[in-house]
Every structure is written in C-alpha cells, then in structure tokens.
Chain A
Amino acid sequence: MKQDIFMLGGQEFQSRFILGSGKYNVELIKAAVEQAGAQMITLAVRRANSDGEGNILDYIPQGVTLLPNTSGARNAQEAVRIARLSRELGCGNFVKIEIMRDSKYLLPDNAETVKATEILTKEGFVVLPYMYPDLNTARDLADAGAAAVMPLAAPIGSNKGLATKEFIQILIDEIDLPIIVDAGIGRPSQACEVMEMGAAAVMANTAIATAGDIPQMALAFKKAIEAGRQAYLSGLGRVREKGAEASSPLTGFLRD
C-alpha cells in the first residue's frame, strides 16, 4: 500500500489527527500526543503569567508542529493581532483563525474570518480558518489563500458529533482544499465517520480532555481516524436501497 501523506502548508504529515491542548493538565500532553500519534497540536495565546508557571512548550514533544489559534478574537483585526503575536512567540507560521462574536454558542463569524484570512495569507501565514460549514464562505476562504478549511461539526466543546454532516460533505465534494473537521466531535466513531466521508483530517480537544482516561481516548481517536481514512481510500461498498443480495451462495442442496 502506498504511503498516504497529508500535505498542509507545504509540510508533510503522516497523522491526520490534530490534537488540542486545552482543558487538561499539561503533564498529560506528552502522553496524549504520543498515543494520538499527533504531529500537530493547537495552542492559545494569552496574557503571560508571572507566577513561574511552566512554559507549555516544554511539555510538547519535539517535532510536533504548533498550531496557535486566535481564540478570544471578536473580529478580523483582533485575530490578525493575535496571529502576529503567536508568530513572534517563535512557533512557525501556522495559524488557526477563530473569530467569535457569539459567546453562548461560540459560533465562528464567517465574514470576519474571510477578512482575517486575506490579511494573514498576504503576510505569509499558513492559514487554517475555523468556520461554519457554508459553501460560499469556503469558496471565499479558498480564494483568500487558506491552506485548508475547518468546518465545525457541532458547537465547540459540546461533544455532540456531526450535527452539520450534510454541509461538511458539500465542502468535501466542492472545495479543492483539505477539509479538516473541527469542533464538536465527541466520539471516535464520529471522527471515523467524517474521515470515511473524505475529510482530510480531524481536530479534537474536548472529546479527549473530558474523557475518563485521556491518553487512552487519544489512542482510540487515532485508530478511528486511521480506520476512516483507510475506508475512504479503499472506497466504501455500495448501499442497496431495497431488498438484499446474498453474500453466501444460496445453493439449494437442502431442497430440490
């Protein structure tokens, strides 16, 4: 079987699982990354503490690509500001744009996200925009130079699964960029399903962070994502809408 490489921002990845680092103890990051087989991890940018708290980067294994997000941004301008600061923190030029005006459902502002994408791609960032799965916006993001599109499956942190399934499928079918499903995926089976549909990768945080055993759940997601990818590559068997089709020969030697 030929190697299945995931190209993103000119970089090669073998893993299609982007892991979040929020809501759990930094001490568990290394184990989670290892079990997940993740080669990319998201981070947030915040006001620094001076209480001697350890640097989160010390807990992330070498060679893992950092994907800072712009969480907290309420418009394009704030997202650009956070992205520039994140690059100054010396982690490369990947950025996940996340712009939220709504604090109840944390839904992304698609229009502002397009604006921020335009600005940041011109500044040389590899831009991964988190978005509500809308085909027109996805086309605008592609035109703006996004490296991928990150549609939500369900509200952030909800673990509710593929609430937007039909619309994610439209993006997969119509957009000539990797579709990375982000937010709301709560179970490995949902990650598997979206990979079967042809998603390029899955990003998950809360599903792992709120699991009983974090490293074990990271491993379960890894397996599910790999299984879904393999199923997609192999081509799913057809569905027979009516009736049945025998898998075993119905040789009638029991009765003539």
Chain B
Amino acid sequence: MKINGVQKECPANFTVAAMLNREGFAREGVAVELNMEIVAKDAYDTTVLKEEDVVEVVSFMGGG
C-alpha cells in the first residue's frame, strides 16, 4: 500500500486506526483519504485497508 506517496506494508485486518497508530499520526488533527475518497473519523476503526490501497493523511500547516 502507499501512504503519503511511500510504499508500506499492509498486514491482515489493518484498519485505518491501526495505520494511523503505526505511522505515528495523531488521530485528531488529520484527515484521511482512501483511494481519493475521504474516510469519516467514525469509520477509522472499521475501515480495513488492502495491499493496493492509496492512502493520504493530511493536516493543516501554515499558509497564506
């Protein structure tokens, strides 16, 4: 799977919540996109990722 453009391992039953935890992202303060679709926060524990998935994890930073 790809997370923010980097190829990563995808274990069995790997949920979005587990992915955030493994990658060191704070659950609050990020938004997750799975294959171009936004994953709602309340679906993080039930959404299971697959080997071919493309995941983006974004947050706010300074900008004009």
Residues of chain A whose beta carbon lies under 8 Å from any beta carbon of chain B: 20-24, 26, 29, 42-52, 55-57, 66, 68-69, 71, 81, 84-86, 88-89, 91, 156-157, 183, 203, 205-206
Instruction: Evaluate whether A56 and B61 lie within 8 angstroms (CB atoms) in the complex, with A50-B23, A85-B31, A88-B38 already known.
Output: yes
Chain A nearest CB from B47 CB (Å) reads 14
Nearest B residue to A89 by beta-carbon distance?
B31
In Å, the complex CA distance between A48 and B4 comes to 8
Give the A-binding residues of B (Cβ under 8 A): 4-5, 23-26, 28-31, 33, 36, 38, 40-41, 56-64
Beta-carbon contact of A55 and B59 below 8 Å: yes
Given contact pairs A50-B23, A50-B25, A20 touches B63 in the complex (Cβ within 8 A): yes
Choice from B38, B58, B64 contacting A48 with Cβ under 8 Å: B58
Which residue in A48, A71, A203 is a CB contact (below 8 Å) of B30? A48
Pick the most buried of A49, A51, A66: most chain B CB atoms within 10 A of its CB.
A49
Contact of B25 among A23, A48, A66 (CB under 8 A): A48
Of A23, A26, A51, A89, the contact of B64 (CB 8 Å cutoff): A23
Which of the listed residues B25, B30, B56, B62 has the most CB atoms from chain A within 10 Å of its own CB? B62
User: Is A26 a contact of B58 with CB atoms below 8 Å?
Assistant: no
CB distance from A89 to the nearest CB of B (A): 5
Residue in A closest to B59 when the chains form the complex, CB atoms: A48
- Complex contact B64–A46 (CB within 8 A): no
Instruction: Give the Cβ gap from B54 to chain A, nearest Cβ, in Å.
Output: 13
Complex contact A46–B23 (CB within 8 A): no
A residues less than 8 Å from B63 (CB atoms): 20-22, 42-44, 68-69, 71, 205
- Contact A26–B62 (Cβ < 8 Å): yes
Measured between alpha carbons, how far is A55 from B40 in the docked complex, in Å?
Answer: 20
Give chain B residues whose Cβ lies under 8 Å from the Cβ of A24.
Answer: 62
Query: Shortest Cβ distance from A190 into chain B, in angstroms?
Result: 16
- In the bound assembly, the distance between CA atoms of A29 and B60 in angstroms comes to 14
In the complex with contacts A47-B5, A48-B25, A50-B24, A89-B30 CB distance below 8 A: yes
Task: List B contacts of A42 (CB < 8 A).
Answer: 63-64
CA–CA, A22 and B23, complex, Å: 26
Residue on A nearest B31 in the bound complex, by CB: A88
Q: Which 9 A-B pairs have the closest CB atoms?
A: A44-B63, A205-B64, A20-B64, A50-B24, A88-B31, A48-B59, A21-B62, A22-B62, A55-B29
The closest CB in chain B to the CB of A60 belongs to: B60
B62:A23 contact, CB within 8 angstroms: yes
Residues of A within 8 A of B24 (CB): 50-52
Cβ of B56 and Cβ of A44 under 8 Å apart?
no
Known interface pairs A48-B25, A50-B24; A81-B36 also in contact (CB < 8 Å) = yes
14 intermolecular pairs with C-beta atoms under 8 Å apart = A42-B63, A42-B64, A43-B62, A44-B63, A45-B31, A46-B60, A47-B4, A49-B59, A55-B28, A84-B38, A85-B31, A85-B33, A205-B64, A206-B64
